[in-house]
Amino acid sequence: DKENEAEASTNNNVDKVTRNYVETLVTDEEHLNSMRLFAVEWAHNNALIFRTKKHPTKSDVSTIAPCSLFPSPFPRQPFEQALAVQKAMNELYFRIGTDFAFLQEAYKDVIEADDHFRNMMDMLKSVHEEGIKQPITVIFQRADYMLNVIKGQNGEEPTYEIKQLEVNCGSIAGTSLDRHTAELNHVMLKKAGFHAAPEDLPENWPDKAQIESIKMAWELYGNPDAIVVIMISDHSQTVFDARFFETELDRLSDGKIKVARVTLKECAIRCSLDENSKLRLDGREVAVLNSRYSALGFVPGVYAMNARKMIERSQAIKIPSAFVGFSCSKKVQQLLAEQGMVERFFPNENDAETVKAIRQTFTGLWSLDKEDKATQDRIEDAIANPNNYLLAEQGMVERFFPNENDAETVKAIRQTFAGLWSLDKEDKATQHRIEDAIANPNNYVLKTNMECGACNYFDEQLANKLKEITPAQRPYYVLMQKLRPMPIKNIMIHPFTASKIDTMVSELGVYGVLLGNMLTKEVKHNVQQGHLLKTKLETANEGGISTGTAVHDSPILF
């Protein structure tokens, strides 16, 4: 009885989370400024920091990483749905990366329109024909979702569904920042006197799962003298995160794991292959190479492409293999939305629920490469109602889960899909979809195959782009259903910028890690661990943290 009374007392002391609860936490401008100063100084004390834009190659000075002051409200059921399907997403893209015939089929039109994709496919074909020297690969994945609000009828409360925006398997970095953001948000709640239930503030350790998987890969390689290489860009703002990985690997291995940090350009100069296809950096054998470059979002020169090919031909364990990194485009995403594609990769009966769960996250995605009436109608609608769509790169689930036992897996995956339409066909349906997007650009988003949300077109810009591109250029794009996110109130912290309460919307990113054998297709390790919210102003189309239009954030569930 006393335990029940204590529990009831605790529950009574929990404050209610609403979409606009942040408005009750700050009393006036002086209070806000005081809270902001505390948060900025806490961030510097706890490595929630970036290099500065003024000194992008120097670590002597730093600035707070853009973040929210408090955690943002997020519905519990969609959050748990996204977490539950992540292991299936990890395996789906792992299986896609092992199906080179599928990748060739998926990009056959894209490579005609884009030099980078053609060069990448040529490189992968060469490596595939030569034979994969190192079958073990590790995938760091982040699946990004947006809440889609479904308005209630007859005064009923709205309902929420998650729809997938994109899947990233390449340049996954800064995960320690996501952990620190959640920690800061929780500290600021307490400082503001808000009593949250522990179950409403999910723990967040994405960096832990990634660091542990690097250690697992290093151990599997089998040479205790071989090193780990973390490959970062020349002007990376997340170097402090990379350094944290290095120090943690040293701690976890009792100093046995040695880490080197290089850029792709430095790798091209300092790395070599020996007669046994071992990758060497300045003569030292490389066991694991964690690339923080995207296979899709970064267009290298000849030297960099040669370095990528050398890495892929080597015995080093890649994080990830370029075959997997190349599988995360909008083109593949759009193809997966087609009937039977998810099932291709989950063919067993036992996977039915997994497939269903995946599909439930899909946004409306429509290919534009057919010439039938349906495609033409979709194009015309997107042209007429562009606010309802997003034009994106196109990206099949059943193909990779073809067994009857995979039915549930396919179902779970498909539940996350949004509407996606390819533009690479010249049939009537594609033409109709293009015309609809031009007439209604607010119903669509036009996306390219670049990873991490690059090169999206919205509204009138979308309509104008569709008018400009030629049929030969269309395979480079995908048309996506535009979602209606849930607006909330929060406060952003940007360096040297005053903060205030604003109306915002959030994207949910869910992290996963998989370690598997690309030849046997055996999965040795598969986990979901960690998440982030990326929050932007409601009026902003793009939401990039590095570009200054969005901030690191964390959820408080309701």
Does the annotation flag 4 for ligand binding?
Answer: no
Query: What pLDDT shows up at residue 373?
Result: 74
Does the annotation flag 129 for ligand binding?
Answer: no
Does the annotation flag 450 for ligand binding?
Answer: yes
Burial class (CB in 10 A: 0-12, 13-18, 19+), 243: middle
Query: What pLDDT shows up at residue 71?
Result: 99
Does the annotation flag 452 for ligand binding?
Answer: yes
pLDDT tens for each residue of the chain, 558 residues long: 434 433 333 455 789 999 999 999 999 999 999 999 999 999 999 999 999 989 999 999 999 999 999 999 999 999 999 999 999 999 999 999 999 999 999 999 999 888 889 999 999 999 999 999 999 999 999 999 999 988 776 778 888 999 998 899 977 999 999 999 999 999 999 999 999 999 999 999 999 999 999 999 999 999 999 999 999 988 888 899 999 999 999 999 999 999 999 999 999 999 999 999 999 999 999 999 999 988 776 666 777 889 999 999 999 999 999 999 999 988 898 899 887 889 899 988 888 888 888 888 886 656 666 677 767 777 777 777 665 565 543 335 666 677 777 777 877 777 787 778 888 888 888 899 999 999 999 989 998 876 555 578 999 999 999 999 998 888 889 898 888 899 999 999 999 999 999 999 999 999 999 999 999 999 999 999 999 999 999 998 877 887 778 999 999 999
* Separation of alpha carbons 23 and 21, rounded Å: 5
At 337, which amino acid appears? A
Does the annotation flag 454 for ligand binding?
Answer: yes
Phi, psi of 73 (to 5 degrees): -65, 140
Q: Which CATH architecture has domain 333-481?
A: 2-Layer Sandwich (3.30)
Does the annotation flag 125 for ligand binding?
Answer: no
Does the annotation flag 5 for ligand binding?
Answer: no
Does the annotation flag 543 for ligand binding?
Answer: no
At 526, which amino acid appears? N
Does the annotation flag 536 for ligand binding?
Answer: yes
Encoding tokens for residue 99?
A: 């199906």
Q: Give which of 270, 251, 260 is closest to 226, Cα–Cα.
A: 260
Does the annotation flag 271 for ligand binding?
Answer: no
Does the annotation flag 328 for ligand binding?
Answer: no
Does the annotation flag 472 for ligand binding?
Answer: no
Helix (H) / strand (E) containing 77: helix 76-84
DSSP 349: B
- Domain borders along the chain are 1-332+485-557, 333-481
Does the annotation flag 449 for ligand binding?
Answer: yes
Task: Produce one character per residue of 164-175: b if its CB has 16 or more CB atoms within 10 Å, e if not.
Answer: bbbbbbbbbbbb
Does the annotation flag 348 for ligand binding?
Answer: no
How many Cα atoms are found within 13 Å in the side-chain-facing hemisphere of 344? 18
Burial class (CB in 10 A: 0-12, 13-18, 19+), 290: buried
The length of the chain is: 558
